[in-house]
Amino acid sequence: MLIKEFRIPMPIDVEDFQRGQLYAVAELSKNETGGGEGAEFIKQKDFTSTTLLPGKTVSGTYTYKIYHLRSKAPWILQKMLPEEAFEIHEESWNAYPYCKTVLTNPKYMKENFQQIIETIHLPDNGTSENPLNCPIKREIITLDICDDKIIGKSAYKENCDPKIFQSTKAEVGPLENDWIEEHEPIMCAYKLVSLHFKWKGFSSLVEKTVLKQYPKIFGVFHREAYTLIDTWYDMTLEEVRKFELETAEVLRKQIAEPEKRGTTCNEK
């Protein structure tokens, strides 16, 4: 099993980012779904749990999605694995500011594949020592949303560049080189990613290949969540939740359409 901790500072309040996070997940799902691939929305419901966070009772929203990802996987995996290997089931418990996502592959890898992403959003710039109480040593990677190298040339969008973007509603941006040390407001999304892939001879290769994609995945998502701020900033949490449900219906239609959408891991 490989474990990495990603830290993504954001020039937003923790409270505001709850809406931004939900809106961006829904919006980006539409951009990545089509041609039989992308996100298939299965269910969403409220939950209360006494086991999600030990010693605490938390409430939030549970969602279940299936991702069809063959064309979005690294080419080496597309050659190695059958179609069933790219059907990833996602269960997510959003008890913001804490969230937990579990990814599995029940049709192919079964108990031999599990990926867990735990996230906590805190009002600092990435300086908390061990916010998710990871019991073992792990690699810590801080991602600057202004760093274009994280996302690569093909994923770059000028309208999503925090070095250029300026919000009229939230009155933030453009971000300067020292923004992580100087900006107010500030928050950080701490993401602990653990990946278990058990397959003799390939475990280490696949784990390293998959985790290598996360700086780009997190970089693109948080850049777009931030630069969409004028779209979601005035929305209430209830309005964002309604947008999520509307998007679920859009996804059901888009996945049946012939056109594929979105990025792939092979792009530079």
Judge whether 223 and 156 are in contact, CB under 8 Å.
Answer: no
pLDDT digits 0-9 by tens, 249-263: 888 888 777 666 665
Q: What residue numbers bound the domain in which 221 lies?
A: 2-250
| pTM value > 0.95 | no
pLDDT beyond 70 at 239? yes
Q: How confident is the model at residue 268 (pLDDT cuts 50, 70, 90)?
A: very low
Pairing of strands 2-10, 139-142: parallel
43 occurs within a structural domain: yes
pLDDT digits 0-9 by tens, 101-132: 999 999 988 999 899 999 999 999 999 999 99
264 occurs within a structural domain: no
261 occurs within a structural domain: no
- Distance, CA of 89 to CA of 106 (rounded, Å): 8
259 occurs within a structural domain: no
- Distance, CA of 170 to CA of 184 (rounded, Å): 12
260 occurs within a structural domain: no
238 occurs within a structural domain: yes
Burial classification of residue 206, based on how many CB atoms lie within 10 Å of its CB (0-12 exposed, 13-18 middle, 19 or more buried)? buried
265 occurs within a structural domain: no
Strands (E) in the chain, as ranges, are 2-10, 38-49, 58-68, 87-95, 98-105, 110-122, 139-142, 187-197
- Tell me the CATH number at 239: 3.30.530.20
Question: How many independent structural domains does the chain possess?
Answer: 1
Share of the chain above pLDDT 90, in %: 65
161 occurs within a structural domain: yes
